[in-house]
Amino acid sequence: MTRRALLISGSAMLTLAALLGVLVVLLPRGATIGLDVFWNGLMSQVRQDWMLSAAYLLNWIGGGWVAIVLVPLLIVLLLVLLRRWRGAVFAAIAFVVSAGLTQLLKEIFARARPDDMLVTSDFGSFPSGHTSNAATIAVVLWLVFPRVWVAIIGAVWVMAMALSRTLLAVHWFTDTVGGALVGASAALLVGAFVLSWASLGWTPASSASRSSRDDDPPVP
């Protein structure tokens, strides 16, 4: 994937997230409020104990200090151990940008959360911070390791996190869609600016250099 493609796709996703926020918050009664109410009601009907147990676990993994500090730190450390230190820098920047964009949009839209929340949460329902963080993780790992199985696992992770947020009634359905768009856009936009330097798997020379890491010392 070229820098141009990353820039265009990232910008498009961020724009869509902002437009979705306008639709659900700023327009009278919210243009998609019917979908949100329907989905919230559906989740309350299909909840099972095992679903809630998984959702509570994802709530802990995807939020608070675990999501903001521990998980990004583990991913950065993993990349360093794999001698992908430039990829580690890229990942760290992407996590910071994703968190910043998410909080900025929360402040701008200040959307109220559902009334029947099963867990406590912070200010602002749109976009979902848990889903945003999950999407950033998925796209970062996909850009560093561009493999089909990485993309599939990442997509499943994002969908599971999004579903868990609505199962717990802590977010509306459109909040999770917005979160996924914001998180993915952050990783794509950062990748657009550090693509060549970080030696991500999409660079033209990557196929020729897979056998050597981006920070291996030159052979005398």
Is 108 a domain residue?
yes
Dihedral in degrees, nearest 10, Cα atoms 119, 184, 50, 168: 20
One-character DSSP codes across the chain:
--HHHHHHHHHHHHHHHHHHHIIIIISTT-TTHHHHHHHHHHHHHH--HHHHHHHHHHHHHTSHHIIIIIHHHHHHHHHHHTT-HHHHHHHHHHHHHHHHHHHHHHHHH-PPPPTT-SS---S--SS-HHHHHHHHHHHHHHHHS--HHHHHHHHHHHHHHHHHHHHTTSS-HHHHHHHHHHHHHHHHHHHHHHHHHHT-TTSTTHHHHTTS-TTPPPP-
Residue 207, in any domain of the structure: no
In a domain, 83, yes or no: yes
What are 199's two structure tokens? Answer: 């030696």
Total domains in the fold of the chain:
1
Residue 210 domain-assigned (yes or no): no
What mean pLDDT value characterizes the chain?
Answer: 86
Whichever domain contains 85, its CATH number is 1.20.144
pLDDT in tens, the chain (220 residues): 788 899 999 999 999 999 999 988 877 655 567 889 899 999 999 999 999 999 999 999 988 888 888 999 999 999 999 888 888 999 999 999 999 999 999 999 999 899 888 988 878 899 999 999 999 999 999 999 999 999 999 999 999 999 999 999 999 999 999 999 999 999 999 999 887 776 665 544 443 344 344 444 443 4
pTM of the model: 0.86
Residue 174 sits in which domain range? 3-25+35-202
State the pLDDT at residue 217: 44
Is residue 28 within 8 Å of residue 210, measured between CB atoms? no
In a domain, 17, yes or no: yes
Rounded to an integer, what distance in angstroms lies between the CA atom of residue 64 and that of residue 62?
7
Nearest Cα residue to 184 out of 163, 201, 206, 161: 161
Task: Give the pLDDT score at 34.
Answer: 82
In this structure, is residue 208 part of a structural domain? no
Length in residues, the chain: 220
User: Which pLDDT belongs to residue 73?
Assistant: 92
Domain assignment of residue 214, yes or no: no
Using one digit for the tens of pLDDT, what is the confidence trace for 92-142? Answer: 999 999 999 999 999 999 998 998 889 888 788 999 999 999 999 999 999
Say if 61 falls within a structural domain. Answer: yes
